Structure 1
Amino acid sequence: MRLRLPREHPTTPPTGYKIAYPVLSHDGTRAGFTGVSLGGGSPYGVLADARCAYGRRHAAPARRCDCGFHCLHSLTETLGLTCVGAHRRAVVLEVSVLGSYIRYERGMRYARQRVRTVRVGPCACGRAATRFADAGWGRPGWRAVAADCGGCALGHAGWTFGEFGELAGGELALTAEEGAGGRRPDASTVTELMAEAALLQARLDWFQGRLEKAAGRGYRDSAL
């Protein structure tokens, strides 16, 4: 007797999380995303259907293949993926899982998705991003964009989050995560910095006094 996995019939689409790179078409008329591993060469829009990345004719997701969209159940685990050096400039997508899907312990593999929210990390300088700028790389027909604070990539083409959302052609919410450079220091940090500044000033005053004494002694010696 062959056992079958239980079938689910959710009343609302399941929610999942994944990382991706935002991209723009070469003519600047469309926006989308591209994956970080399997299927990374096929950018997708806000609403998209999965295809087999190996060119097979079966519908995704097939049980004997690893095709289809992939996502994780946990937002925290997905955010952790952006700590990997190769994925530092990736964004975090919150998606609605549509169509058929296969559930695993940590996530799902599924046929269709709608991107609802895009979490944009900080600029490479650490400050909160205010726009997307040309990342300097891309796929055939698409160029990747990355988070920018508005000052680090002034010489590159840039798009506001609103402009990117319009080009994506769907109801898309984009939020910028606060960078380390944008956080306000707490009271203890300010006190420590003031104490260090006072100590440095005292050492500078002592050093200046020694220099003045040495300069005065050198003048008297040269006058003899």
Structure 2
Amino acid sequence: MPLRGYKLAYPVVSADGTEAGFTGVSLGRSRAYGITADAECVGNAAHHCPATWCGCGFYCFHSLSDARALACDSEFQHSVLLEVEARGHYIRCEKGLRYSRQTVTAVRAGRCGCGWPAKAFADAGDGLVGWRRLLPLCAACAASRPVLSLEEFARLAGGVSVSRDEQAVAWAANSAVPASDADMVPLLSAEAALLHARLDQLQSQLDRLTGEN
């Protein structure tokens, strides 16, 4: 039976825009993989993964909370969270597994760099041969950029479920504090002053036109 796990990865899209996949966040970032993949050692392809004397193989955490905790590291904050089924040979560790074969069953897009929940992917400006790395963005940050929607990424990746991370959505909802009446006073005063200035300008133009006639 497969073992369920959670891991971080960087989303990528092929150079021709017809496929989507992932790369690892550490040693595995030099190779892209799809929904179902077999691990390959980047240093020596002659042996099977995972080898006890080598650090090769796929990695995953047992718990979702550990994967989310790692995503807080600034080095990995632009990654996505994958839910995977681990198969084949594996080595069990304290917090997770190192294993030979995996199937990605779900993708969670976390936070945009500004802190709001991600709603799309955009070109990150880097990648590897044949693949461009993608950056999770919220609606506001994605407004002026060409983006790939979560739904389109899911289609290109083979139909895997891709959604916003529920923890990021809940955090944003709890952090959104509505403005109080006291907060609105300076804003309304500024708008009133701008309106009066505009009316004075229009009145001055009207007086000038009336005088000329």
Q: Per the shorter chain, which TM-score range?
A: 0.7 to 0.9
The letter for the 1-side match of 2:161 is: A
1:176 corresponding residue in structure 2: 164
Structure 2: distance between partners of 1:166 and 1:33: 14
Tell me, which stretches of 5 or more residues in structure 1 are unaligned? 1-11, 205-224
- Residue 150 of structure 1 deviates from its aligned partner by 3.1
1:122 aligns with 2:122: no
Note the aligned Cα RMSD (angstroms). Answer: 2.5
Tell me, which stretches of 5 or more residues in structure 2 are unaligned? 190-213
Q: SS state of the match for residue 127, structure 1?
A: coil
- CA, structure 1 residues 100+185, in 2 after alignment: closer, same or farther (shift >3 Å)? closer
- Residue 66 of structure 1 deviates from its aligned partner by 1.2
Structure 1: distance between partners of 2:22 and 2:94: 25
1:6 corresponding residue in structure 2: none
- Residue 148 of structure 1 deviates from its aligned partner by 1.7
Q: Tell me if structure 1 keeps the 8 A contact 2:120–2:142.
A: no
Q: TM-score under structure 1 normalisation? A: 0.75
- Residue 128 of structure 1 deviates from its aligned partner by 2.4
**10, 13, 20: which is aligned to 1:21?**
10
Higher helix share: 2
The letter for the 2-side match of 1:173 is: S
Structure 2: distance between partners of 1:61 and 1:29: 31
1:46 aligns with 2:41: no
Residue by residue, what CA displacement relative to the aligned partner does 1:26-56 show, whole Å, maximum 9, x if unpaired? Answer: 1111110001111210111000000112124
Q: Tell me if structure 2 keeps the 8 A contact 1:20–1:34.
A: yes
Residue by residue, what CA displacement relative to the aligned partner does 1:133-159 show, whole Å, maximum 9, x if unpaired? Answer: 111221121111121223323443311
Q: SS state of the match for residue 64, structure 1?
A: coil
1:94 corresponding residue in structure 2: 83
1:63 corresponding residue in structure 2: 52
- Residue 67 of structure 1 deviates from its aligned partner by 0.7
Q: Tell me if structure 2 keeps the 8 A contact 1:20–1:36.
A: yes
Residue by residue, what CA displacement relative to the aligned partner does 1:83-133 show, whole Å, maximum 9, x if unpaired? Answer: 111111111111000111111111111110000111111222333222111
Q: TM-score under structure 2 normalisation? A: 0.78
2:100 corresponding residue in structure 1: 111
Q: Tell me if structure 2 keeps the 8 A contact 1:17–1:73.
A: yes
Structure 2: distance between partners of 1:184 and 1:76: 19
Q: Sequence identity, in percent?
A: 44
Structure 1: distance between partners of 2:10 and 2:102: 16
Q: Which moved more, 1:20-29 or 1:160-169?
A: 160-169
Residue by residue, what CA displacement relative to the aligned partner does 1:38-84 show, whole Å, maximum 9, x if unpaired? Answer: 12101110000001121240111112211111111111011011111
The structure having more radius of gyration, on CA atoms, is: 1
Q: Which moved more, 1:55-64 or 1:108-117?
A: 55-64
**131, 138, 155: which is aligned to 1:166?**
155
Q: SS state of the match for residue 78, structure 2?
A: coil
The letter for the 2-side match of 1:67 is: C
